[in-house]
């Protein structure tokens, strides 16, 4: 007779092989059909809300691994908060305006652009953004991310654009807005401003000149050695044309400077560290050092401009280096980024006497009307004539060029709009607010604090097309610019209806409320501003979405982005919110690191180490990608490699198989009728339930702390150690051989069911596809349509029994020793399967006390045919425990025949004539 048919072997349709790549789209379709997101919204009505406000990705390409990581992390938070009892709506967003899209559209259009109106080009930009929003949306959905995908917030939506106009209006009206000069990249031949991304660096040959500026301040008082001499400071530059705009000379605050006396050039002051370099370059051999200075002693002294009869001031700046030159840096605040910052610091004019075509303006003596690059020659000539030129040569260096016309570009100061950091105490109020926000990890606080503390005023204007206009008007009569609440409201209404195209399509008169007159001169003819807003302002006011949708709330509970956003979105959002609402838009801010390759290098095309989300999804499935997100500690760099993916795939299989095995053993279990009350469960099953509570506690706590890698480790170890290699392995005998409806079997199933129900929920936020697939196979069908619409099962205190755990710790430890002994016996070919063995234990006193009541459990948990306790000294040979002094384990092959049904060797096998190959227990079962 084939007794195998009399066993209760596991049985389930839940497939062992996941085939995620094929299965996931089916599950997505099911979710779509069920409208799972709405179902979750409905079922969680009335629960406390948890608002994670989405940082809008930029809509100009497919998502990369960083975007995928970020979105999955958000989704894990959303799903886990949801299952932890909150109502967690999620409105995804996209950042739509800005230069990258405008540039890409420019390239697609080519020369056609020249014949198009600004609005027509903007329309192309809108279509471009739209295209990629759809693509990215599908990519995010494919990752299993739940959200309001059919109603996201887009910064180019008309109502959002109107909001931007209104928020900008608040700054303008409250007095934070200022207009001032700032140097930007400028292409002389195109006559346009360029963004940083629009310049290309290429090697160029430039003049390199050394010039001496005579001192005006009297140095002889403090330095008598200099008495009676002509004293100069020596500077070096590769842009002679900026000399007319020189207003200062910068020294490094920590460098030493020397004064050298030369027969040809008089006394020259320069950095000590560049003395040798300078002397050899300038060809000076005859000199004497007559004085040394600390740079700080010279700060504020005056020198004379080498060309004009005005003064230039000596200032200090960190960016001065000893690489090349003299350590005394010619500073023209209107023609360089660093020069500009020094100019602000020392309150210098941002002087930039150059027009749109790159020609000196008429008030520039000697060079008026000359194009700056052509003027280089003349400037050098003039310096030479005036006897202030020390040396001229040529250098090859990397210099910025216009990406369009390939000509060299210049820095030119132009009028720009700024939000003042200090006029309305924006900086102070922001710094104060930072202290009230929870930053995770905590160092984020210092990082953003430092940035806000030191940043200059926020330049919010751009000379581009694809963006939200700065809605300011100018009076044609008096030149005054103005804005008012009435104008803001009026324009915002127009924008809400027609989008910001309206600004480009209509005239100033059409855009203004009827009867508007200039508040200064009552003129009635106007022009509109042509600049648009920095896109960081667009996304910076995204918290308005939280106010405008009644199911969201401001401020958000959480903002979550990469650590680069301390300078980006966290930063602009904070400023926008503080500036208009006096409080931070977020209660807490979580940051993650960047995705790097297996050896910690950044992913880049040139390195060839890029792994795309698409690649992972198509080869392994989104679930593996999500498991990766959960498994990595994201506070630092996040590594990704083929090996990591392979490991995760194997781990996934293990998790899946654990679920499958649990399901397989519950095929005949009806929780409603077959559940055994806790107090009547076998000890081992109660032990398992206690372990489940510990796991639940760890996992729920880790979800709260956003520490998903701990969850991954805990769940995985639970499946492998607690379940697979221990509990489930031991349970097999009881599950398979006991009568179907026996208490022992139902006791095991009660525990298994509890474990399955708990586990499937705990992992659902991380592997939502698999969890929901498992959900469909659970024994009891009275449940929500998806695991994601349900809640975690909280820790059940009544399932905890720490004294039981303590007793069993000993059993587990002894088991470990027995397993070692079994392995040795196996090596010696004494046994194969552990059930072939009978084990004799010589126990020291302290052990025998704890084990006396567990003689039978020991046999079961060691999965051997018999365990007997014997006196010390009666055993010969045997394995001596390293853990317990005096514990000796002797493994022998069982002398009894093997029961054909349960595989246990037993003395009673053969005693029953009806079933001569079965043990007593199995005979009874049959």
Residues 662-701 that bind RNA (CB under 7 A): 664
Provide the 10 A C-beta neighbour count for residue 606.
6
Alpha helices in 292-414 (DSSP H): 295-298, 337-345, 372-385
Using CB atoms within 10 Å of the CB of residue 286, give its burial: 0 to 12 exposed, 13 to 18 middle, 19+ buried.
exposed
Q: How far is the CB of 630 from RNA (least distance, A)?
A: 9
Binding letters toward RNA, positions 519-558, x by CB under 7 A = ----------------------------------------
The only residue of 378, 710, 848, 860 in contact with RNA, by rule CB under 7 A = 710
Separation CA 43–CA 52 (nearest Å): 19
Q: How far is the CB of 378 from RNA (least distance, A)?
A: 29
Query: Which residues contact residue 2 at a Cβ distance below 8 angstroms, ignoring those fewer than 6 apart?
Result: none
The only residue of 79, 464, 761, 901 in contact with RNA, by rule CB under 7 A = 901
Measured from the CB atom, the residue of 16 and 227 that comes closer to RNA is: 16
**Length of the chain, in residues:** 926
Contacting range for RNA; rule: CB under 7 A; set: 660-668, 773-781, 847-855, 910-918: 660-668
Q: How far is the CB of 616 from RNA (least distance, A)?
A: 15
Q: Is residue 395 a contact residue for RNA (CB under 7 A)?
A: no
Q: How far is the CB of 432 from RNA (least distance, A)?
A: 19
Q: Is residue 902 a contact residue for RNA (CB under 7 A)?
A: yes
The only residue of 32, 201, 319, 916 in contact with RNA, by rule CB under 7 A = 319
Measured from the CB atom, the residue of 446 and 798 that comes closer to RNA is: 446
Residues 298-317 that bind RNA (CB under 7 A): none
Phi and psi angles of residue 729, each rounded to the nearest 5 degrees, phi first = -65, -40
Provide the 10 A C-beta neighbour count for residue 435.
10
DSSP structure string for 61-122: S---HHHHHHHHHHHHHHHHHHHTT-B-----EEB--SHHHHHHHHHHHGGGGGGS-HHHHH
Q: Is residue 199 a contact residue for RNA (CB under 7 A)?
A: no
Determine if residue 916 is left, alpha or beta; phi over 0 gives left, psi from -120 to 50 gives alpha, anything else beta.
alpha
Binding letters toward RNA, positions 793-832, x by CB under 7 A = -----------------------x--xx-xx--xx----x
Residues 629-658 that bind RNA (CB under 7 A): 631-633, 635-639, 641, 643-644, 647, 650-651, 653-654, 657-658
Q: How far is the CB of 591 from RNA (least distance, A)?
A: 9
The only residue of 134, 179, 302, 833 in contact with RNA, by rule CB under 7 A = 833
Residue 174 host element (H or E): none
Residues 4-63 that bind RNA (CB under 7 A): 4, 7, 9-10, 16-17
Residues 123-162 that bind RNA (CB under 7 A): none
Contacting range for RNA; rule: CB under 7 A; set: 175-183, 672-680, 711-719, 884-892: 711-719
Q: How far is the CB of 311 from RNA (least distance, A)?
A: 26
DSSP character at residue 470: -
Measured from the CB atom, the residue of 391 and 709 that comes closer to RNA is: 709
Whether the CB-CB separation of 21 and 618 falls below 8 Å is answered with yes
Q: How far is the CB of 671 from RNA (least distance, A)?
A: 21
DSSP character at residue 562: E
The CA distances from residue 880 to 16, 836, 885, in Å, are: 41, 21, 8
Q: How far is the CB of 565 from RNA (least distance, A)?
A: 8
DSSP structure string for 814-864: HHHHHHHHHHHHHHTTS-SSGGGEEEEEE--HHHHHHHGGGHHHHHHHHT-
Measured from the CB atom, the residue of 170 and 709 that comes closer to RNA is: 709
Q: How far is the CB of 721 from RNA (least distance, A)?
A: 6
The CA distances from residue 789 to 31, 41, 80, 763, in Å, are: 11, 9, 11, 14
Whether the CB-CB separation of 683 and 804 falls below 8 Å is answered with yes
Q: How far is the CB of 383 from RNA (least distance, A)?
A: 27
Q: Is residue 450 a contact residue for RNA (CB under 7 A)?
A: yes
Separation CA 455–CA 414 (nearest Å): 20
Separation CA 20–CA 617 (nearest Å): 9
Encoded tokens for 68: 């995928």
The only residue of 72, 723, 795, 858 in contact with RNA, by rule CB under 7 A = 723
Measured from the CB atom, the residue of 53 and 660 that comes closer to RNA is: 660
Q: Is the peptide bond before 555 cis (omega within 30 degrees of 0)?
A: yes
Q: How far is the CB of 649 from RNA (least distance, A)?
A: 9
The only residue of 180, 337, 407, 463 in contact with RNA, by rule CB under 7 A = 337
Q: How far is the CB of 624 from RNA (least distance, A)?
A: 13
Q: How far is the CB of 712 from RNA (least distance, A)?
A: 7
Measured from the CB atom, the residue of 31 and 570 that comes closer to RNA is: 570
DSSP structure string for 648-661: HHHHHHHHHHHHHH
Measured from the CB atom, the residue of 424 and 826 that comes closer to RNA is: 826
Whether the CB-CB separation of 573 and 540 falls below 8 Å is answered with yes
Query: Which residues contact residue 721 at a Cβ distance below 8 angstroms, ignoring those fewer than 6 apart?
Result: none
3-state secondary structure 248-314: EEEECCCCEEEEEEECCCEEEEEEHHHHHHHHHHHCCCCCEEEEEEEHHHHCCCEEECCCCCCEEEE
Binding letters toward RNA, positions 724-763, x by CB under 7 A = xxx-xx--xx--xx--------------------------
Measured from the CB atom, the residue of 465 and 834 that comes closer to RNA is: 834
Separation CA 702–CA 689 (nearest Å): 20
The only residue of 94, 706, 716, 808 in contact with RNA, by rule CB under 7 A = 716
Angle made by CA atoms 796, 800, 806, in degrees to the nearest 5: 160
Query: What letters, b where the CB count within 10 A reaches 16 and e where it falls short, cover 471-504?
Result: bbbbbeeeeebbbbeebbebbbebbbeebbbbbb
The only residue of 148, 204, 338, 683 in contact with RNA, by rule CB under 7 A = 338
Q: How far is the CB of 801 from RNA (least distance, A)?
A: 23
Query: Which residues contact residue 404 at a Cβ distance below 8 angstroms, ignoring those fewer than 6 apart?
Result: 187, 190, 198
Q: Which of 423, 523, 533 is nearest to 481 (CA)?
A: 523
Q: Is residue 596 a contact residue for RNA (CB under 7 A)?
A: yes
Separation CA 568–CA 535 (nearest Å): 11
The only residue of 712, 777, 792, 854 in contact with RNA, by rule CB under 7 A = 712
The only residue of 620, 661, 775, 879 in contact with RNA, by rule CB under 7 A = 661
Contacting range for RNA; rule: CB under 7 A; set: 133-141, 270-278, 758-766, 898-906: 898-906
Number of chain positions touching RNA (CB under 7 A): 84
Contacting range for RNA; rule: CB under 7 A; set: 20-28, 132-140, 669-677, 722-730: 722-730
Measured from the CB atom, the residue of 490 and 820 that comes closer to RNA is: 820
Contacting range for RNA; rule: CB under 7 A; set: 298-306, 473-481, 597-605, 909-917: 597-605
The only residue of 660, 686, 890, 905 in contact with RNA, by rule CB under 7 A = 660
Q: Is residue 598 a contact residue for RNA (CB under 7 A)?
A: yes
Q: Which of 753, 569, 606 is nearest to 674 (CA)?
A: 753
Whether the CB-CB separation of 769 and 793 falls below 8 Å is answered with no
The only residue of 43, 376, 563, 753 in contact with RNA, by rule CB under 7 A = 563
Q: Is residue 272 a contact residue for RNA (CB under 7 A)?
A: no
Measured from the CB atom, the residue of 261 and 597 that comes closer to RNA is: 597
Measured from the CB atom, the residue of 30 and 820 that comes closer to RNA is: 820
Encoded tokens for 784: 């929500």
């Amino acid at each position: 007779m084939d007794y195998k048919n009399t066993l209760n072997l596991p049985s389930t349709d839940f497939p062992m092989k996941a085939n995620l790549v094929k299965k996931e789209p089916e599950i997505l379709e099911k979710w779509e059909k069920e409208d799972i997101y709405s179902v979750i919204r409905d079922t969680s009505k009335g629960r406390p809300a948890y608002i994670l406000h989405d940082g809008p990705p930029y809509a100009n390409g497919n998502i990369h691994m960083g975007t995928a990581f970020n979105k999955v992390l958000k989704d894990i938070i959303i799903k886990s908060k949801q299952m932890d009892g909150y109502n967690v709506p999620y409105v995804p967003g996209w950042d739509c305006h800005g230069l990258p899209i405008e540039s890409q559209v420019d390239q697609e259009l080519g020369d056609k652009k020249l014949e198009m109106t600004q609005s027509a080009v903007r329309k192309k930009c809108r279509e471009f953004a739209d295209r990629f929003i759809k693509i990215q949306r599908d990519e995010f959905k494919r990752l299993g991310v739940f959200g309001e995908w059919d109603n996201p917030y887009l910064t180019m939506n008309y109502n959002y654009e109107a909001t931007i106009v209104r928020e900008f209006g608040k700054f303008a009206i409250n007095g934070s807005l200022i207009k001032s000069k700032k140097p930007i990249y400028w292409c002389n031949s195109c006559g346009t401003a360029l963004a940083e991304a629009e310049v290309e660096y290429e090697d160029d040959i430039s003049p390199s000149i050394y010039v001496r500026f005579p001192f005006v301040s009297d140095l002889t008082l403090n330095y008598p050695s200099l008495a009676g001499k002509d004293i100069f400071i020596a500077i070096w530059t590769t842009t002679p044309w900026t000399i007319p705009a020189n207003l200062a000379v910068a020294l490094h605050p920590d460098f030493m400077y020397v004064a050298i006396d030369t027969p040809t050039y008089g006394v020259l002051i320069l950095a000590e560290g560049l003395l040798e370099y300078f002397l050899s370059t300038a060809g000076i051999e005859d000199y004497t050092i007559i004085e040394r200075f600390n740079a700080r002693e010279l700060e504020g002294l005056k020198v004379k401009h080498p060309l004009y009869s005005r003064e230039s001031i000596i200032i200090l700046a960190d960016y001065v280096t000893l690489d090349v030159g003299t350590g005394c840096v010619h500073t023209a605040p209107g023609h360089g980024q660093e020069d500009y910052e020094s100019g602000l610091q020392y309150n210098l004019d941002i002087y930039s006497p150059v027009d749109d075509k790159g020609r000196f303006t008429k008030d520039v003596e000697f060079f008026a009307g000359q194009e700056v690059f052509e003027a280089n020659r003349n400037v050098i000539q003039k310096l030479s004539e005036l006897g202030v030129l020390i040396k001229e040569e040529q250098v090859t260096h990397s210099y910025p060029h216009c990406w369009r016309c390939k000509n060299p570009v210049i820095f030119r100061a132009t009028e720009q709009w700024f939000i003042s950091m200090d006029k309305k105490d924006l900086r102070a109020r922001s710094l104060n607010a930072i202290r009230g926000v929870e930053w995770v990890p905590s160092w984020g606080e210092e990082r953003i604090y430092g940035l806000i503390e030191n940043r200059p005023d926020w330049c919010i204007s751009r000379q581009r097309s694809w963006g939200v206009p700065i809605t300011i008007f100018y009076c044609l009569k008096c030149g005054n610019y103005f804005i008012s609440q009435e104008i803001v409201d009026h324009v915002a209404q127009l924008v809400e209806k027609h989008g910001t195209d309206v600004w480009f399509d209509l005239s100033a008169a059409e855009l203004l409320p009827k009867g508007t007159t200039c508040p200064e001169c009552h003129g009635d003819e106007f022009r509109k501003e042509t600049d648009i807003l920095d896109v960081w302002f667009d996304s910076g006011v995204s918290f308005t979405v939280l106010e405008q949708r009644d199911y969201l709330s401001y401020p958000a509970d959480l903002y979550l982005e990469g650590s680069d956003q301390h300078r980006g979105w966290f930063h602009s959002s904070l400023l926008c919110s503080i500036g208009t609402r006096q409080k931070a838009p977020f209660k807490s801010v979580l940051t993650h690191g960047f995705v790097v390759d297996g050896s910690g290098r950044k992913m880049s095309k040139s390195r060839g180490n890029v792994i795309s989300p698409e690649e992972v999804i198509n080869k392994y499935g989104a679930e593996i990608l999500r498991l990766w997100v959960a498994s990595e500690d994201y506070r630092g760099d996040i590594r990704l490699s083929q090996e990591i993916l392979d490991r995760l795939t194997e781990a996934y299989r293990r998790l899946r198989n654990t679920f499958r095995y649990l399901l397989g053993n519950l095929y005949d279990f009806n929780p409603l009728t077959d559940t055994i009350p806790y107090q009547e469960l076998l000890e081992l099953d109660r032990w398992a339930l206690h372990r489940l509570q510990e796991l639940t506690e760890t996992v729920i706590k880790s979800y709260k702390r956003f520490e998903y890698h701990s969850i991954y480790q805990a769940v995985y170890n639970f499946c492998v150690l607690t379940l697979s290699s221990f509990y489930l392995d031991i349970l097999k005998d009881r599950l398979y051989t006991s009568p179907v409806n026996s208490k022992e079997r139902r006791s095991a199933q009660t525990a298994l069911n509890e474990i399955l129900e708990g586990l499937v929920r705990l992992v659902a936020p991380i592997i939502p596809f698999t969890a929901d697939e498992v959900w469909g196979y659970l024994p009891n069908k009275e449940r929500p349509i998806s695991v994601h619409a349900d809640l975690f099962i909280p820790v059940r205190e009544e399932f905890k029994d720490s004294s039981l755990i303590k007793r069993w710790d000993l059993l587990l430890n002894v088991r470990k020793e027995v397993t070692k002994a079994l392995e040795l016996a196996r090596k010696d070919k004494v046994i194969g399967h552990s059930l072939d063995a009978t084990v004799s234990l010589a126990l020291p006193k302290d052990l025998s006390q704890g084990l006396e009541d567990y003689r039978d459990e020991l046999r079961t948990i060691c999965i051997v045919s018999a365990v007997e306790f014997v006196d010390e000294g009666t055993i010969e040979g045997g394995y001596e425990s390293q853990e317990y002094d005096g514990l000796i384990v002797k493994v022998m092959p069982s002398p009894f025949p093997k029961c054909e049904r349960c595989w246990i060797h037993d003395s009673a096998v053969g005693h029953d004539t009806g079933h001569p190959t079965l043990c007593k227990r199995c005979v009874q079962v049959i």
